[in-house]
Chains A and B, each alone.
Chain A
Amino acid sequence: MNIIYREKDVPNIHKLDVYVKNDGYAALKKALGMTRAQVIDEVKASNLRGRGGAGFPTGVKWSFIPQDNPINYVVVNADESETGTFKDRQIMENNPHQLIEGALICAYAIKAAAVYIYIRGEYWDVAEGLEKAIADATAQNYAGDKILGSDFSCPVYVHLGAGAYICGEESALLESLEGKMGQPRVRPPFPAQKGGGLYAEPTVVNNVETLANVPYIIQHGAAAYKSLGTESSTGTKVFCLSGHVNKPGNYELEMGKNTLRDLIFTHGGGIKGGKQIKGFLPSGGSGPVVRVNGNNDPVLDTPLTYEDFVKMGTILGSASFIIMDETVDMTWVASKITKFFKHESCGKCTPCREGTYWLDKVIDRIMDGGGKPSDVELINNVAKNMQGVTLCALGDFAANPIIYTIKNFPEDFAAHVSGKAPLAVAGD
Chain B
Amino acid sequence: MLKEKYADRIEAVFAKYATKRSAVMPLLYLAQQEYGWVNQQGINEVAELCELDPTQVKSIAGFYTMYSEKPKGKYWLQVCTDLACALNGADEFYKQLREYLEVTSDHHDGHGGDDSADGLFTVDQVMCLGACDRAPMMQCNFRFYENLDMEKTKALIEQWRAEAAGGTSSDGTSAAASSRKKSSKKQE
A residues apposed to B, CB below 8 Å: 80-86, 89-90, 93-94, 120-125, 128, 157, 159-165, 176-182, 199, 240-244, 248-250, 281, 284-285, 320, 322, 324, 328, 333, 336-337, 340, 343-344, 346, 426-428
Question: Which of B91, B130, B187 has the most A CB atoms < 10 Å from its CB?
Answer: B130
| Option from A81, A89, A240 in Cβ contact (under 8 Å) with B187 | A89
Name the residue among A85, A241, A336 with the largest chain B CB count within 10 angstroms. Answer: A336
Given contacts A84-B83, A163-B66, contact A178 B88 (CB under 8 A): no
Interface magnitude class on chain B: 35 or more
Looking across the interface, which residue of chain A has its beta carbon closest to that of B22?
A: A179
In the complex, per-residue mask of B100-118: 1 if CB is within 8 Å of any chain A CB, else 0? 0000000001100000000
Q: How far does the alpha carbon of A125 sit from the alpha carbon of B110 in the complex, in Å?
A: 24
Known A90-B187, A179-B19, A179-B60; 19 more pairs at CB < 8 Å:
A81-B130, A83-B132, A84-B132, A85-B130, A122-B66, A122-B129, A123-B130, A125-B143, A159-B22, A161-B64, A162-B64, A162-B66, A163-B65, A181-B59, A242-B87, A242-B133, A340-B82, A340-B128, A426-B87
Residues of A within 8 A of B24 (CB): 179
Nearest A-chain residue to B65, judged by Cβ: A163
Task: List B contacts of A89 (CB < 8 A).
Answer: 130, 187
In-complex Cβ contact of A121 among B21, B64, B110 (8 A): B64
CA distance A164 to B64 in the complex (A): 6
In the complex, how many angstroms separate the beta carbon of A300 from the nearest chain B beta carbon?
19
B90 at the interface (CB under 8 A from A): yes
| Of the residues A124, A162, A241, A328, contact of B28 by C-beta under 8 Å | A162
- A153 CB to nearest B CB, Å: 15
Contact with A along B68-92 (1 / 0, CB 8 A): 0000000000000011101111111
In whole angstroms, how far apart are the Cα atoms of A421 and B4 in the complex? 64
- Which of chain B's residues has its CB closest to A93's CB? B187
How many Å lie between the Cα of A242 and that of B132 in the bound state? 6
Residues of B within 8 A of A125 (CB): 143-144, 182-183
Task: Name the residue among B16, B59, B67 with the largest chain A CB count within 10 angstroms.
Answer: B16
Q: Does B18 contact A (CB under 8 A)?
A: yes
Interchain Cβ contacts under 8 Å between A and B, 22 examples: A83-B83, A83-B128, A84-B83, A93-B186, A94-B187, A121-B142, A122-B66, A125-B182, A161-B64, A162-B65, A163-B66, A164-B65, A180-B21, A181-B63, A242-B87, A242-B135, A250-B133, A285-B83, A322-B83, A343-B127, A427-B86, A428-B88
- Does B145 lie at the interface of the complex (its beta carbon under 8 Å from any beta carbon of A)? no
User: Contact between A199 and B18 (Cβ–Cβ < 8 Å)?
Assistant: yes
* B21:A322 contact, CB within 8 angstroms: no
Contact at A324–B87, with CB atoms within 8 Å? yes
Contact B64 A178 (CB under 8 A): no
Contact indicator B22/A427 (Cβ below 8 Å)? no
- Which residues on the A side are within 8 Å of B180 (C-beta)? 124
Complex alpha-carbon distance, A427 and B187, angstroms = 25
B83 touches A427 (CB 8 A): no
A82 CB contacts on chain B under 8 angstroms:
128
Contact check, A160 vs B26: say whether CB atoms are below 8 A apart.
yes
Interface membership of B120, Cβ < 8 A? no
